[in-house]
Structure 1
Amino acid sequence: MITLPLDCYDIIFNNLRHNYKNLYSCALVNRQWCRIIIPILWSEPKNHFKNIKLIRTFLLTLNSEEQALLIPFKITLPSYPRPLFEYTSYITSIEEHLYDGIRKWIHYERDKTVLELENVVKYSLIRMFLRTSKNLKSLILDNKTICNQIIFENLYENTTITSIILYYTCIDLNFKTIDILIQILHKNSTLTSLDLNLQGYRFFSNIESEREALIDALCKNNTLKKLNIYHAPPGSKEGALGE
């Protein structure tokens, strides 16, 4: 077989990046192709996040602190050998399919989905991704997850993420969520895209000072190139900002 320069292989395989079946077959040809293809295959898992086997692979990557969150729930983690590749280091985007995969895995392990357990598994995996995914660019979070102290601290210091989609699921954390968003907007110099889904933000008008502080932080931020705000109250300042 004729050997091509590595750059040529890289171009060829990147052109197949959305053809998972053929790309996977190519990865089995030899070690050289495998080393080139694995980072491409794992860069954008998308709907493959729903796969229970993938969730198990992610759980193998948890460190002792991340595993400790699961101990109260008596979760038995997979006992397989650790993966040969650091698969999560290649991931560039975390999509909501991950949360579907977590629910499927819990339902498979427990025959039912427990919300508290779902949140803990979510926190553990997001912490792990922020720790290991050196190329992570985009992230979808709910406001309960972003209010987790460790996740917030990792986000606050992160220098690779350029896009965050945040949606509200917990009304009780409105104030804390705003405070965290303001801190991230002040600190993070790489964030260029922010999507806020305010559908669950029912008491927005009751915290006027925090609301004004968030609007002020958004107006003063000079790195955001894209801002989308969904389900803001009609005629509100938030809705005007997202237009």
Structure 2
Amino acid sequence: MITLPNECLFEILYNLKDYRRSLYSCLLVNRQWCRNVVPILWSELDVFKNKALVKTCLLMLNTEEQALLIPFNIMLPNNSKPLFEYTTYVTDINIDSVDGIINWLYHEKQEFHYSWSTVTKIIKHSLTLMLLRTSVKLKYLSVRGKAVNLLEKILIKSTSLSSLTFSRNELLPEDIKALAKTLCILVFRNVILVM
């Protein structure tokens, strides 16, 4: 049997990007198909809305990011590392919801001496740091809520970032100037300028 070159196979599979169920089936065909499907499935995700994605991403935290969670007694999954470094394929991240984190915490039946709000914020922060560190192909980033402490990391780490959307943030004028110089497209919605 003649096999298609990876480039051709990727183009064919990319046309199925809106048919995720079909792509999941393609994962199981063989290794070549799997290697071509994973980047498509992981390119655009709402990590923070899905408990399975939260669990997978928690497995990819480095020691520094894990250390942020230790004071809160957050028990990380003890599964083996994933076969792929999935987050390297991410091109589009939407950081707005904590539903997936809450669902993961509820499913894992974790108990804390801190409020759920505090725990979800620290997990969200740790996951965001990991995504910014590993998402080398990141082009579009949408951040809802306070992210001023992440601006430096966003600007330093993301060389391919072409669009950054902030909503419901408090930004200083110098933050906005630094962002405007760096990005091609800058969208602000419900942003409070702190003077």
Q: TM-score, normalised by structure 2?
A: 0.86
Unpaired segments ≥5 residues, structure 1: 211-243
**Kindly, what percent of the aligned residue pairs are identical?**
41
- Structure 2 counterpart SS, 1:95: strand
Q: Is 1:143–1:177's contact at 8 Å kept on the other side of the alignment?
A: no
Q: Is 1:42–1:88's contact at 8 Å kept on the other side of the alignment?
A: yes
Q: Quote the residue 1:94 is aligned against.
A: 93
User: How many angstroms does 1:96 deviate by?
Assistant: 4.3
Q: Quote the residue 1:179 is aligned against.
A: 174
Provide the C-alpha distance between the structure 2 equivalents of 1:14 and 1:52, rounded to a whole number of angstroms.
25
Q: Which moved more, 1:75-84 or 1:154-163?
A: 154-163
Q: Is 1:155–1:184's contact at 8 Å kept on the other side of the alignment?
A: no
- Provide, for residues 162-181 of structure 1, a one-character-per-residue CA deviation record: whole Å limited to 9, x for no partner: 11121225xxxx4x543322
Q: Quote the residue 1:164 is aligned against.
A: 164
Provide the C-alpha distance between the structure 1 equivalents of 2:97 and 2:79, rounded to a whole number of angstroms.
21
Q: Quote the residue 1:122 is aligned against.
A: 124
Cα 1:119/1:181, change in 2 over 3 Å: farther
User: How many angstroms does 1:156 deviate by?
Assistant: 2.1
User: How many angstroms does 1:194 deviate by?
Assistant: 2.0
- The one-letter code matched in structure 1 to 2:184 is T
Provide the C-alpha distance between the structure 2 equivalents of 1:45 and 1:143, rounded to a whole number of angstroms.
18
Alignment of 1:32 with 2:32, yes or no, is yes
Q: CA RMSD in A?
A: 2.3
Provide the C-alpha distance between the structure 1 equivalents of 2:95 and 2:128, rounded to a whole number of angstroms.
12
How many equivalent pairs are there?
191
Q: Quote the residue 1:42 is aligned against.
A: 42
- Provide, for residues 64-91 of structure 1, a one-character-per-residue CA deviation record: whole Å limited to 9, x for no partner: 1111111111000000000010000001
- Provide, for residues 136-188 of structure 1, a one-character-per-residue CA deviation record: whole Å limited to 9, x for no partner: 111121352x222xx2222121211111121225xxxx4x54332222223x1
Q: Which has the higher helix share?
A: 1
Provide the C-alpha distance between the structure 1 equivalents of 2:22 and 2:105, rounded to a whole number of angstroms.
31
Cα 1:177/1:62, change in 2 over 3 Å: farther
User: How many angstroms does 1:99 deviate by?
Assistant: 3.0
User: How many angstroms does 1:5 deviate by?
Assistant: 2.5
Cα 1:156/1:96, change in 2 over 3 Å: closer
Structure 1 residues 69-108: aligned runs within 5 Å:
69-96=68-95, 99-108=98-107
Provide the C-alpha distance between the structure 1 equivalents of 2:18 and 2:129, rounded to a whole number of angstroms.
27
- The one-letter code matched in structure 2 to 1:45 is L
Q: Quote the residue 2:189 is aligned against.
A: 197
Q: Quote the residue 2:61 is aligned against.
A: 62
User: How many angstroms does 1:23 deviate by?
Assistant: 0.9
Q: Quote the residue 1:138 is aligned against.
A: 140
- The one-letter code matched in structure 2 to 1:87 is Y
Cα 1:20/1:66, change in 2 over 3 Å: same
Unpaired segments ≥5 residues, structure 2: none
Provide the C-alpha distance between the structure 2 equivalents of 1:111 and 1:177, rounded to a whole number of angstroms.
37
Provide the C-alpha distance between the structure 2 equivalents of 1:155 and 1:93, rounded to a whole number of angstroms.
13
